[in-house]
């Protein structure tokens, strides 16, 4: 086990231990914070597939995060009002079941990623950044001006959705769900990076011409990565909405895209567990600096600037040393 | 839709487009010359608006307020370039995005800390307020007309600057080959600071001019900056002409779409549903325009093929 793996294991164990400790000491708010870390880390794991593995600097991942959130909001609001979503040509009812919501959210955000990706990937570099940002903003304005689901005010869901066999109203149970999904996504992401697809994608990031020369299409590889990435971020969005029992257009805002990216850079770009470390650091900063000053974003900004300018490896890079030379 | 309403909306679209051009020109220059994507451009727009509101509040003079906006934004731009941006030219786009995102956080919270969370108001001076009657008996706010003209003058000045002056020659040379003009003895780092400050000043001026129509508040710059990105994607990166044409297209699409979509839907929907759906769809129209341009010409209307 090398140093990075050791740090990753410690991270994952720590994230599981904190809420258990909090439960023993009756501190439900700490469990909520840990749940938030798990959800943000999951969103980051999604972005990391596009950004770390594929080299696609997407500033529009809030689009998928928001679509996941609205999948939850729309299904659950129809279920709580006992109104079917659609009666004709076939009856579609709302749902309060998490697995149904997750699948809907993942499919919807995957479709959105397919469309946005197919258009945006026609370009590269700085164009790609601007275009993904613009599509994110498009959905933001759409969510604000679409009155059927709350418009600017968002949608409130009164009771957290259920999961068969668990009582999701207990914070620790809900944390368990989020943590398990995060662990599965990390496992998937690690397998993906080692798979032929992941290797080809990595190659397409480094030298697209060579990938093309061996008969693979960089465009298709990137689009596939973008869709997978969008799906995972969408799942995180559905969980985040369930955590707050509330969705609003702010999930679509460009700040959300920026923050998901901040998790990656704080943790370390291209590191498998970078999003976990980054999300944990972000939530801790928010909690402790936010307690000290209302203007804690200034300190976050300065810290981020210092990390970008002087400490490129982020937290994992700092702890584990330089990345093994496969990059 | 009456003709008068239509003409009013066209003028509003032009005004909006010209203001977008002031933002987009700076972004596209900075990208063209230095190869830098600057997310903090919206923060400079905000700095201009706040400087104008503060100076107008102290002196009561709108002209001084505009000068303050230009000076404050240019100074902030130069300072940021010297301290941070300069280190980013050799970095990849991801680092540029993150560092300038950090700058947004610092600027926004810094402004909130100095001025508070409540919006400020910048009043239109008396001699520019009230309507003016255009040929054809159309009444239109004088102020909007004036800022459209100011914007057009600046656009003209910018074209002259780029095409006729020594600085413009250096800027264009910097766009095509950075190493070469450095080798020819041009002080490249000074040129970069000047270009960045120039872009910042244009953004600050736009912020001040628009600030008098809307309220001056933290976070006002980013939505405009994202639209300026759309403008650049449509016009082609690095092209001032593309920025101008893209900005006018986006401005007109934005205002005309807002009245045309609901009117169009009213043909086959009832009134309230058409208004709601129409305004939701109109808000997406600009991005649809961008998508169409992307499918047709991925490098933008006036961008060099890559």
A122/B283 touch (CB, cutoff 8 Å), yes or no: no
Burial per residue of A103-121, b for 16 or more beta-carbon CB atoms within 10 angstroms, e otherwise: ebbbebbbebbbebbebbb
pTM of the model: 0.89
Beta partners for residue A86, in sequence order: A92
Angstrom CA distances, B164 to B161, B171, B182, B187, stand at 6, 11, 21, 20
B37/A126 touch (CB, cutoff 8 Å), yes or no: yes
A127/B298 touch (CB, cutoff 8 Å), yes or no: yes
The residues, any chain, with a CB within 8 Å of residue B14's CB and separated by 6 or more, are: B148, B248, B251, B252
B291-296: Cβ within 8 A, 24+ apart: B291/A119, B293/B233, B293/B234, B294/A119, B294/A120, B294/A122, B294/A123, B294/A131, B294/B233, B295/A119, B295/A122
Residues in B closer than 8 angstroms to A51, CB to CB, are: 94
A254/B222 touch (CB, cutoff 8 Å), yes or no: yes
Tokens of A213: 């020369």
Residues in A closer than 8 angstroms to B230, CB to CB, are: 130, 134
Nearest to A295 among B84, B102, B113 (CB): B113
Cβ–Cβ contacts within 10 Å for residue A26, how many?
A: 7
Angle at A147 between CA A77 and CA A81, to 5 degrees: 20
Q: Is A270 left (phi over 0), alpha (psi -120 to 50) or beta?
A: left
Domain range for A222 is 3-320
Residues in A closer than 8 angstroms to B31, CB to CB, are: 126
Query: Looking at the domain B2-296, which fold is it?
Result: ABC transporter involved in vitamin B12 uptake, BtuC (1.10.3470)
Residue A326 is assigned to a structural domain of this protein: no
The residues, any chain, with a CB within 8 Å of residue B42's CB and separated by 6 or more, are: B23, B104, B203, B220, B221, B222, B223, B224, B225, B226
In chain B, the residue whose alpha carbon lies closest to the alpha carbon of A142 is B280
Cα torsion through B121, B127, B129, B131, rounded to 10: -170
Does residue B47 have a pLDDT over 50?
yes
Residue A29 is assigned to a structural domain of this protein: yes
Residue A279, classed as helix, strand or coil, is helix
Residues in A closer than 8 angstroms to B279, CB to CB, are: 145
DSSP assignment of A75-91: HHHHHHHT--SB-SSS-
Reported as a single tens digit per residue, the pLDDT across B249-272 is: 999 998 888 888 888 888 877 777
Alpha helix (H) ranges present in chain A? 3-24, 28-48, 62-81, 98-120, 125-145, 171-194, 196-206, 208-213, 218-244, 254-267, 274-292, 296-310, 314-320
How far is Cα A289 from Cα A170, in angstroms, rounded to an integer?
A: 28
Nearest to B233 among A127, A265, A300 (CB): A127
How far is Cα B34 from Cα B32, in angstroms, rounded to an integer?
A: 6
CB-CB contact of B18 with B151 (8 Å): yes
Overall average pLDDT of the B228-253 stretch: 91
Helix axes A98-120, A218-244, angle to 10 degrees: 140
Nearest to A35 by CA among A16, A63, A10: A16
Residues in A closer than 8 angstroms to B286, CB to CB, are: 138
CB-CB contact of B227 with B84 (8 Å): no
B280/A146 touch (CB, cutoff 8 Å), yes or no: yes
pLDDT in tens, chain A (327 residues): 578 888 888 888 889 889 889 888 888 889 999 999 999 999 999 999 999 899 999 999 999 999 999 999 999 988 888 888 777 777 787 888 899 999 999 999 999 999 999 999 988 888 899 889 989 999 998 898 887 888 888 888 888 888 888 888 888 999 999 999 999 999 999 999 999 999 999 999 988 899 999 999 999 999 999 999 999 999 999 999 999 999 999 999 999 999 999 888 888 877 889 999 999 999 998 888 888 877 888 888 998 899 888 877 788 888 877 654 444
Nearest to B94 among A57, A130, A144 (CB): A57
Nearest to B284 among A51, A119, A142 (CB): A142
How far is Cα A235 from Cα A107, in angstroms, rounded to an integer?
A: 9
Per-domain residue ranges of chain B: 2-296
The residues, any chain, with a CB within 8 Å of residue B89's CB and separated by 6 or more, are: B34, B35, B36, B192
CA of B131 vs chain A CAs: smallest distance (Å): 30
HEC per residue, chain B = CCHHHHHHHHHHHHHHHHHHHHHHHHHHHHHHHHCCCCCCHHHHHHHHHHHHHHHHHHHCCHHHHHHHHHHHHHHHHHHHHHHCHHHHCCCCHHHHHHHHHHHHHHHHHHHHHHHCCCCECCCCCHHHCCEEEECCCEEEEHHHHHHHHHHHHHHHHHHHHHHHCHHHHHHHHHHHCHHHHHHCCCCHHHHHHHHHHHHHHHHHHHHHHHHCCCCECCCCHHHHHHHHHHHHHHHCCCCHHHHHHHHHHHHHHHHHHHHHHHHHHCCCCCHHHHHHHHHHHHHHHHHHHHHHHHHHCCCCCCCCCC
Does residue B117 have a pLDDT over 80?
yes
Tokens of A36: 């938030």
Q: What percent of chain B has pLDDT over 70?
A: 99
Tokens of B302: 């006036």
How far is Cα B211 from Cα B175, in angstroms, rounded to an integer?
A: 32
Residues in A closer than 8 angstroms to B284, CB to CB, are: 138, 141-142
Residues in B closer than 8 angstroms to A258, CB to CB, are: 101, 104
B283/A142 touch (CB, cutoff 8 Å), yes or no: yes
Tally of domains in chain A: 1
Span of A79-83, B144-148, B220-224, B246-250 with lowest mean pLDDT? A79-83
Sorting pLDDT into bands at 50, 70 and 90, what band is B305?
low
pLDDT at residue A4 in the model: 81
Q: What is the ipTM of this complex?
A: 0.87
Domain at A22, CATH number: 1.10.3470
Nearest to B122 by CA among B43, B208, B18: B208
Nearest to B287 among A124, A134, A309 (CB): A134
Burial per residue of B171-180, b for 16 or more beta-carbon CB atoms within 10 angstroms, e otherwise: bebbbeebee
A122/B105 touch (CB, cutoff 8 Å), yes or no: no
Cβ–Cβ contacts within 10 Å for residue B1, how many?
A: 12
B226/A254 touch (CB, cutoff 8 Å), yes or no: yes
Beta partners for residue A163, in sequence order: A166
How far is Cα A43 from Cα B78, in angstroms, rounded to an integer?
A: 36
Sorting pLDDT into bands at 50, 70 and 90, what band is B1?
low
Residue A222 is assigned to a structural domain of this protein: yes
Tokens of A298: 């200034």
The residues, any chain, with a CB within 8 Å of residue A200's CB and separated by 6 or more, are: A211, A216, A221
| DSSP letter (8 states) at residue A92 | B
B98/A123 touch (CB, cutoff 8 Å), yes or no: no
Residue A327 is assigned to a structural domain of this protein: no
CA of B62 vs chain A CAs: smallest distance (Å): 31
Residues in B closer than 8 angstroms to A263, CB to CB, are: none
CA of B286 vs chain A CAs: smallest distance (Å): 8
What residues of chain B have any CB closer than 8 angstroms to a CB in chain A? 31, 37, 84, 87, 93-95, 97-99, 101-106, 108-110, 112-113, 222-223, 226, 229-230, 232-233, 237, 276, 279-280, 282-284, 286-287, 290-291, 294-295, 298-300, 306
Element (DSSP H or E) covering residue A155? strand A155-156
């Amino acid at each position: 086990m090398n140093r990075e793996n050791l740090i990753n294991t410690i991270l994952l164990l720590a994230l599981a231990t904190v809420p258990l400790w909090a439960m023993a000491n009756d501190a439900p708010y700490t469990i909520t914070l840990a749940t938030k870390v798990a959800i943000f880390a999951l969103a980051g794991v999604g972005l990391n597939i596009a950004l770390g593995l594929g080299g696609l600097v997407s500033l529009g991942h809030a689009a998928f995060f928001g679509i996941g959130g609205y999948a939850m909001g729309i299904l659950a609001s129809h279920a709580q009002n006992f109104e079917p979503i659609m009666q004709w040509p076939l009856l579609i009812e709302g749902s309060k079941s998490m697995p149904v919501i997750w699948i809907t959210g993942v499919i919807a955000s995957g479709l959105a990623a397919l469309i946005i990706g197919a258009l945006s990937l026609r370009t590269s570099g700085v164009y790609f950044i601007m275009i993904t940002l613009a599509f994110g903003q498009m959905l933001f304005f759409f969510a604000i001006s679409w009155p059927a689901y709350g418009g600017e005010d968002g949608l409130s869901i009164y009771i957290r959705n259920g999961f068969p066999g668990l009582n999701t109203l207990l914070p620790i149970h809900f944390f368990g769900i989020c943590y398990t999904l995060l662990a599965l996504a990390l496992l998937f992401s690690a397998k993906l990076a080692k798979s032929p697809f992941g290797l080809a994608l990595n190659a397409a990031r480094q030298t697209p011409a060579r990938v093309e020369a061996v008969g693979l299409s960089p465009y298709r590889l990137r689009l596939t990565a973008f869709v997978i990435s969008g799906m995972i971020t969408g799942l995180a969005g559905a969980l985040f909405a369930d955590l707050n029992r509330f969705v609003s257009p702010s999930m679509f805002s460009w700040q959300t895209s920026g923050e998901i990216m901040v998790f990656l850079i704080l943790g370390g770009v291209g590191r498998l567990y970078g999003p976990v470390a980054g999300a944990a650091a972000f939530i801790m900063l928010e909690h402790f600096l936010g307690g000290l000053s209302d203007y804690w974003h200034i300190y976050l900004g300065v810290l981020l600037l210092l990390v970008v300018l002087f400490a490129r490896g982020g937290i994992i890079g700092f702890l584990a040393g330089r990345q093994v030379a496969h990059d | 839709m009456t003709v008068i309403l239509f003409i009013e909306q066209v003028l509003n679209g032009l005004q909006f487009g010209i203001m977008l051009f002031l933002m987009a020109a700076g972004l596209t220059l900075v990208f063209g010359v230095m190869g830098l994507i600057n997310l903090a451009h919206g923060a400079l727009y905000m700095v201009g608006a706040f400087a104008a509101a503060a100076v107008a509040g102290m002196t009561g003079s709108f002209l001084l307020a505009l000068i303050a906006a230009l000076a404050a934004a240019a100074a902030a731009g130069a300072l940021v370039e010297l301290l941070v941006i300069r280190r980013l030219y050799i970095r990849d786009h991801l680092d540029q995005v993150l560092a300038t995102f950090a700058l947004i956080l610092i600027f926004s919270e810094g402004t909130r800390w100095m001025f508070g969370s409540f919006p400020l108001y910048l009043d239109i001076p008396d001699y520019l307020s009230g309507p003016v009657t255009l040929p054809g008996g159309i009444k239109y706010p004088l102020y909007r007309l004036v800022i459209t003209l100011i914007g057009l003058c600046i656009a003209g000045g910018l074209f002259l600057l780029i095409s006729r002056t020594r600085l413009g020659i250096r800027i264009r040379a910097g766009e095509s080959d950075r190493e070469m003009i450095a080798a020819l003895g041009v002080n490249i780092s000074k040129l970069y600071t000047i270009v960045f400050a120039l872009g910042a000043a244009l953004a600050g001026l736009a912020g001040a001019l628009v600030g008098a129509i809307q309220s001056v508040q933290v976070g006002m710059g980013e939505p405009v900056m994202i639209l300026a990105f759309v403008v650049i994607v449509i016009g082609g990166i690095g092209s001032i002409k593309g920025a101008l044409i893209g900005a006018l297209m986006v401005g007109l699409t934005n205002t005309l779409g807002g009245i045309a979509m609901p009117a169009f839907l009213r043909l086959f929907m009832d009134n309230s549903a058409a208004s709601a759906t129409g305004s939701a769809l109109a808000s997406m129209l600009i991005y649809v325009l961008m998508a169409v341009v992307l499918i047709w010409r991925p490098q933008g209307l006036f961008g060099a093929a890559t």
